[in-house]
Structure 1
Amino acid sequence: MLDDVVRERSGVTMVRSGATGAAVTGTQSVERALSLLSYFTDEQPERRIAELVELTGLGQSTVSRLVATLEALGYLARDERSGLHRIGPKVVALAGIALNQSPVHRASRQIAQNLAYELGLGANVAERHGDQMFYLCHFEGPLAPRSFTLTGRLAPLHSTAMGKALLSGLTAHEVREVMGKAYPAYTPHTLTSLDRLQQALDEVRARGYATEIEELAFGRACLAAPVRDRSGDVVAALSVSGSLSAMDLASRQDSLAAKVIEYADQISTSLGFMAHARLGI
C-alpha cells in the first residue's frame, strides 16, 4: 500500500509519493502567489494588502499569508513607514540572470551603449514575444534622458519602429498569424490595419530600417534596424529614439539609418550572421 506524506508550508501543499519520492507541488497556491506579483505595474508599483484582496477576489487571510511568504523569500518588499508592498530584490536578481543568459543581450549590450554614447540618443534592443516586443536593454543619451528604464517592458509591434523591424523577417502569412485582427490606435498616426502594416513592412525590407513618428506616443520618434542570427532569421531589433526635435528625422534620417544599420550588423555578426554567405558570395 502506498503512503502519501502531505506537508503544508507557507500555504503551499506538497504531496510526496512513497513509491517514487517525487514531490508534487500544489499548483493553485503557486498560481495565486504569482498572480499577486502581476498586479504590480508601472502605473501601480506599490500595493496594499486590501487592494490585492479586492483585485484577486481572495480572502484577507489567504492574501496576507501569500504576501508574507513572498516577502520572506524576497519577491516582495514592504515599506515600513507606508505599509505598502512593492516588487522585491529577488525578482530583480532573477531578471538579471535571465538577461545574462540571453545571447542577444550579451551580444548587443555594449554595442547599444556605444550607440547611445555616440549619438546622444536613447538606444534600445528588443526581441519579439508573440504579438509584442520585449525590451532587452536600454541606454539613455544626453539628448534623450529618462528617469526610468525600458528594460523588461512590452510594447506593441504595429506601432513601433522596432516592432516593424522585427516583423520584417516574417512572410505576409506569418505577419497575419502573429498580429491577428486587433490594431489599436495610440495616436492618429498609428497603423490600424493589416494592409497598412504590410505596406510599411515592404518598405522596411526594401531600405533595411523602420521608422516611427508619433505612432505610439506624441512627441516621440524612433528608427530601428533588424538584427539577424547565424541562420539569417531576424531575432531582434536595434533602435535609436528620442523626442522629435532630438531625432530630427527630417534632416538626419539617412545618417541615423546608416549608423543604426551599421551597429545592428555588428550585433548580427556577434550572433554568427555572415551577410556574404547569405548572399551566396
Structure 2
Amino acid sequence: MATTPPNQSIERAAAVLGALGASDGAVRASDIARAIGLGTSTTGRLLATLESLEYVRRDPETQAYSVGRAVLELASQGLNHNPVHRESRSAAQELAHRVGLTANVGVQDTASCIYLCHFEGSLAPKSHTMIGMRQPMHASALGKALMLDLSEDERRALLGDDLARYTDHTITTHDALTADLVASAGRGWCEENQELALGRFCIAAPIRNASGRIAAALSISGRLTQLRDRDLDSLAEDLIEVADRISVGLGMISAVAH
C-alpha cells in the first residue's frame, strides 16, 4: 500500500515548535532558524502563522518567541483524554504529599518511558515539571516496571543489543537486566539506584489495565540523602498499594499470575 508523502509545511512547523520546546526560555527567530536548519525568512513566515494560531507567543519588547496558549491547551486536553492520567492523577498526588518525595506515572512509547504525571512532595521541590519528558527504559525504575512482563527476547527487540551507559551504576547488558527484573518481579517493585543520575534513587511498581497487561508504572523518587533513613520496605508497600488501587480503577479485577 502506498504511503502518503510527508507535508513539508507541517514538518517545518513541528520543527519550530520542537525547537521552542527544547529551549530554556524565549528564543529569537534567528536562533530558531539556526537550530532547525531553515532560512530566516522561511522561519519568520512559519512563526507568523503559528503566532496567529496562538501556537507560539512573541514578546512585544524582546521579539523573542515561546510556546503559546494553544500548545498548552492541546497538551492539557491530551492528558485529560488519557485514561491512565485521569485514574492516577489524584492517587499519585496524594502519594507525593504523604511520603514527601516525588511521585511519577509513566507509560511506554516505543523504546522510551514518558511521564504522564509528576507531583512533588515537601522534600523534593523542582523548578520544572517532568510531564512529557522521556527516560530510557533500562536505566529508570519506571521503565523497568513497564518491562516486567516482557521476555528477554522481547526486550532485546525493543531496546536493541546495546544498552546506553549513563553512570557507572547503569545496567548495560541484557543478562544483567534480566536478573534485575527477575528479582524485581519477585518482590513486586523495581529499583533504580543511581543508574540514570548520580545521587538519585527511585522505586516503581506496575499499573495494570482490565486485561491484566501493564499499562503504566508509578514511582517514588528522591535524592539518596532523602531516602537513606527511610524504611524502604514500608515505602514500597505504600507504592504497591497505590499502584494496585489505580489498576483497579482501570478495570483490573483479579490477581495476575507470574
Answer whether TM exceeds 0.5 for this pair: yes
- When Rg is computed on C-alpha atoms for both structures, the one with the higher figure is 1
1:178 aligns with 2:164: no
Displacement of 1:260 in angstroms is 0.3
**How high is the sequence identity, in percent, across the aligned residues?**
43
Point out where structure 1 has 5 or more consecutive residues left out of the alignment: 1-23
**Contact 1:45/1:87 (<8 A) preserved:** no
1:140 aligns with 2:94: no
Q: Which residue of 2 aligns with 1:157?
A: 137
Question: Over the residues paired in the alignment, what is the CA RMSD in angstroms?
Answer: 1.8
Aligned residues: 254
Q: Which residue of 1 aligns with 2:222?
A: 242
Instruction: Choose which of 225, 239, 249 in structure 2 pairs with 1:260.
Output: 239
For 1:43 and 1:197, the matched residues in 2 are separated by 34
Displacement of 1:184 in angstroms is 1.5
Moved over 4 A (4+): none
**Contact 1:113/1:139 (<8 A) preserved:** yes
**Deviations 1:94-122 (CA, angstroms, capped at 9, x unpaired):** 00000001010011000001101111111
**Deviations 1:10-61 (CA, angstroms, capped at 9, x unpaired):** xxxxxxxxxxxxxx99811111111111112455443211122222332222
Instruction: Choose which of 195, 201, 219 in structure 2 pairs with 1:221.
Output: 201
**Deviations 1:112-134 (CA, angstroms, capped at 9, x unpaired):** 01101111111110000011001
For 1:197 and 1:65, the matched residues in 2 are separated by 48
**Contact 2:20/2:65 (<8 A) preserved:** no
For 1:239 and 1:216, the matched residues in 2 are separated by 14
Residue aligned with 1:40, SS: helix
Displacement of 1:177 in angstroms is 0.9
Which amino acid is 1:199 matched to?
Answer: A
For 2:182 and 2:27, the matched residues in 1 are separated by 45
For 1:145 and 1:85, the matched residues in 2 are separated by 28
Q: Which residue of 1 aligns with 2:76?
A: 96
Matches within 5 A, 1:44-123: 44-123=24-103
Displacement of 1:251 in angstroms is 4.9
Instruction: Choose which of 243, 246, 251 in structure 2 pairs with 1:272.
Output: 251
For 1:204 and 1:59, the matched residues in 2 are separated by 51
For 1:256 and 1:104, the matched residues in 2 are separated by 22
After TM superposition, the score normalised by the length of structure 1 is 0.86
Change in CA separation of 1:186 and 1:224 when aligned onto 2, cut-off 3 Å: same
Residue aligned with 1:117, SS: helix
Residue aligned with 1:201, SS: helix
Matches within 5 A, 1:178-197: 178-197=158-177
Change in CA separation of 1:198 and 1:25 when aligned onto 2, cut-off 3 Å: closer
For 1:242 and 1:261, the matched residues in 2 are separated by 17
For 1:207 and 1:135, the matched residues in 2 are separated by 24
Displacement of 1:181 in angstroms is 2.4
Q: Which moved more, 1:51-60 or 1:82-91?
A: 51-60
After TM superposition, the score normalised by the length of structure 2 is 0.93
Change in CA separation of 1:42 and 1:58 when aligned onto 2, cut-off 3 Å: closer
Structure richer in strand, relative to its length: 1
**Contact 1:224/1:239 (<8 A) preserved:** yes
For 1:201 and 1:47, the matched residues in 2 are separated by 43
**Contact 1:183/1:193 (<8 A) preserved:** yes
Displacement of 1:218 in angstroms is 1.4
Displacement of 1:227 in angstroms is 0.5
For 1:106 and 1:137, the matched residues in 2 are separated by 10
**Deviations 1:220-262 (CA, angstroms, capped at 9, x unpaired):** 11110000011111110001111112122x7521111111000
For 1:84 and 1:92, the matched residues in 2 are separated by 18
Q: Which residue of 1 aligns with 2:20?
A: 40
**Contact 1:222/1:247 (<8 A) preserved:** no
Q: Which residue of 2 aligns with 1:4?
A: none
For 1:88 and 1:70, the matched residues in 2 are separated by 9
Change in CA separation of 1:148 and 1:94 when aligned onto 2, cut-off 3 Å: same
**Deviations 1:170-194 (CA, angstroms, capped at 9, x unpaired):** 1222111111123221111111121
